[in-house]
Amino acid sequence: GPYGAFNPHHVWMMVVLISGLSLAGYLAMRAVGDRFGPPLLGLLGGLVSSTATTLVYARHARQTPTMALTSSIVILMANLVLSVRLGMIAVAIAPSLMATLWPVLVGNLVAGGLAVLFVWHRSRTGGPLLLPEVANPTELRVALSFGAMYAIILLLASWLSDWAGTRGLYLASAVSGLTELDAIALSTLRLFGNGKLGAEVAANAIGLAILSNLCFKTGLLAWVAGRDFLLRCLPGMMAIGIGIAIGMGWVGYA
């Protein structure tokens, strides 16, 4: 296909990778439930879908105001674990990139981890939490939808990178990262593996996609749960974003 971007075998291998990773979190979440507290539930929810976890617990905070603090822990933890998820994917697809990508992921973990600890210290038990409403990631419809999205974003990223260079890839990362982080991250890793991107550009593109996705979910909090809950979560979300931005600043020195 155009730019050598479409390889059905490779696309399906990426579907298997993401579905397998998501399935592991999905099964663990169903087995554990809320018995071990919000941080663990947020971690498992983030492995399956941080966006779905953010949406569900924003709704939960709106419907049950006394659970707002605990719900904020789940949401922050789900967004914090993005670094772990992306790190696992990068190690599987392009392990050599980790030498350059690690400041972005560590920046997320350190800043976000401090925010979670701070909010957790202030929290009080307020009753049972709902499990995130996510579909089984191995269902054929879900898998095919992700495969199509991945193929489209890979082609888009290849075209923009060829047409506008680094700025084109960054534009694709910012736009695609709003709603589909896995696809643009995998596309960037694929381009790096093919020698079409340098390590620094690839790491910054992934960092930009994470920031874009974080902005989308912050807006989701305001839309679903309202201003008060947004202000409760905003310092933690900003801490995660600042950690990522600092990590991107260190990429050139890694």
HEC per residue, the chain:
CHHHCCCHHHHHHHHHHHHHHHHHHHHHHHHHCCCCCHHHHHHHHHHHHHHHHHHHHHHHHHHCHHHHHHHHHHHHHHHHCHHHHHHHHHHHHCHHHHHHHHHHHHHHHHHHHHHHHHHHHHCCCCCCCCCCCCCCCCCHHHHHHHHHHHHHHHHHHHHHHHHHHHHHHHHHHHHHCCCCHHHHHHHHHHHHHCCCCCHHHHHHHHHHHHHHHHHHHHHHHHHHHCHHHHHHHHHHHHHHHHHHHHHHHHHHHC
Model confidence at 164: pLDDT above 80: no
Whether the per-residue pLDDT at 157 is higher than 60: the answer is yes
Q: Quick one: pLDDT at residue 1?
A: 61
| Distance in angstroms (rounded) separating the CA atoms of residues 161 and 5 | 12
pLDDT > 80? residue 247: yes
Amino acid letter, residue 119: V
- Residue with the bigger pLDDT between 117 and 97: it is 97
Higher-pLDDT residue of 242 and 11 is 242
pLDDT the model gives residue 6: 67
Q: What pLDDT is stored for residue 58 in this prediction?
A: 86
Query: pTM for the full model?
Result: 0.78
Kindly report the length of the chain: 254
Cα–Cα distance, 163 to 179 (Å, whole number):
23
Are 97 and 189 a contacting pair, CB within 8 Å? yes
Residues 67-82 have a mean pLDDT of 85
Residue 214: its pLDDT value, please? 92
- 92 to 89, 114, 132: CA distances (angstroms): 5, 28, 26
Torsion of CA 29, 81, 177, 203, to 10 degrees: -140
What is the predicted pLDDT for the residue at 216? Answer: 85
Segment 189-236, tens digit of pLDDT: 988 988 888 999 999 999 999 998 899 889 889 888 888 999 989 988
Q: Are 119 and 76 in contact (CB under 8 A)?
A: yes
Judged against a pLDDT cut of 80, whether residue 42 lies above it is answered with: no
Among 33-37, 57-61, 189-193, the minimum mean pLDDT is found in 33-37
Question: What is the pLDDT, as a whole number, of residue 9?
Answer: 73
Q: What percent of the chain has pLDDT over 70?
A: 75
